[in-house]
Amino acid sequence: MDDSQTKANSGRGRWILGSILLLFFLLLLVAVYLKSPYAKIRTIQVQGATGLSSSMLISDAQISVGENLFLVSGSAVQERLTEDFPIIKRVIMKRNLIQQNVDLLVVEKKIAGILDSGGSLYRLLSDGTVLDRDQEAVGINLPIITTVKPLAVNLGSPVNDPSVILLCHELSSIPAFYLSSFSEFHIQPWQGSTAILAYSKDGFEVRMPLTSLASSLKLYSSIHAKLLQLHRKPGLIDLFSSKTGLYTPF
């Protein structure tokens, strides 16, 4: 009995010793690999950025060729880029250990419209952030957003009007097909609530609730098509007071 127990303890001891030695050699191999040229970044690629250069983003991300692949923090890269570039929604960083490559997949916010405030035009992102001043009419094909009173504007910060922020969110989720026929979306108080008075490019106006913009534009498209078939003159289509729409010619 004592001999068998001694053999079992001896076998267990050898197994533990072998495991410790194996773990030691594995850790040694990892340490050697991390210090070798095979763990260093050879190339850095950026995908998904439309208005920002790759070199600018790589520089701001503070990643460089020759740096250790495992010492680059994806969360730190995302924090830096989203803080410095308001148009960036998130950044996904991927490491390719075989090719020794770092990929930065940039997901941008959508540009919702152009804010007309105080006679100046500003591009607004889907979350209501002021991207930049649109001095060269870059967003000429985007809807113009206007308010009753001019808004204070700070580049890189959201506008200080919840209604404009909500409108930007709504516009960014609506198919371009429904927006292309409009030139302006005016935010105004109406019957104790907030309404949108939209101006179409062919002379129609449509008043609708801000909170149901997508469904209202879809309904307007159907009503507008029927009015054109009947050769009706441009007028106001009220989708705020009536769910089916009230048409009043000018």
178: domain CATH number is: 3.40.50.10960
Query: Strand runs (DSSP E) across the chain, as ranges?
Result: 43-47, 88-96, 101-108, 111-117, 120-125, 130-133, 144-147, 182-190, 193-200, 205-209, 235-238, 246-249
Q: Give the domain extent around 27.
A: 1-35
Same domain? 121 vs 19: no
pTM of the model: 0.82
pLDDT band, very low/low/confident/very high, at 214 (cuts 50, 70, 90): very high
Average pLDDT over residues 99-116: 96
Same domain? 136 vs 77: no
Same domain? 68 vs 186: no
Q: How many residues are recorded in the chain?
A: 250
Euclidean distance between CA atoms 128 and 131, whole angstroms? 9
Classify residue 64 by its DSSP letter.
-
Total domains in the chain come to 3
With CA atoms as reference, report the closest residue to 202 among 221, 188, 219.
Answer: 221
Same domain? 86 vs 123: no
Euclidean distance between CA atoms 126 and 120, whole angstroms? 19
- Pick 14 or 132 by higher pLDDT: 132
Same domain? 116 vs 220: yes
For residue 246, the SS3 value is strand
Euclidean distance between CA atoms 43 and 148, whole angstroms? 51
Percent of the chain with pLDDT over 70: 90
Q: Is the pLDDT of residue 238 over 60?
A: yes
Classify residue 129 by its DSSP letter.
B
Same domain? 140 vs 219: yes
Euclidean distance between CA atoms 37 and 43, whole angstroms? 13
Contact, 206 vs 237, CB < 8 A?
Answer: yes
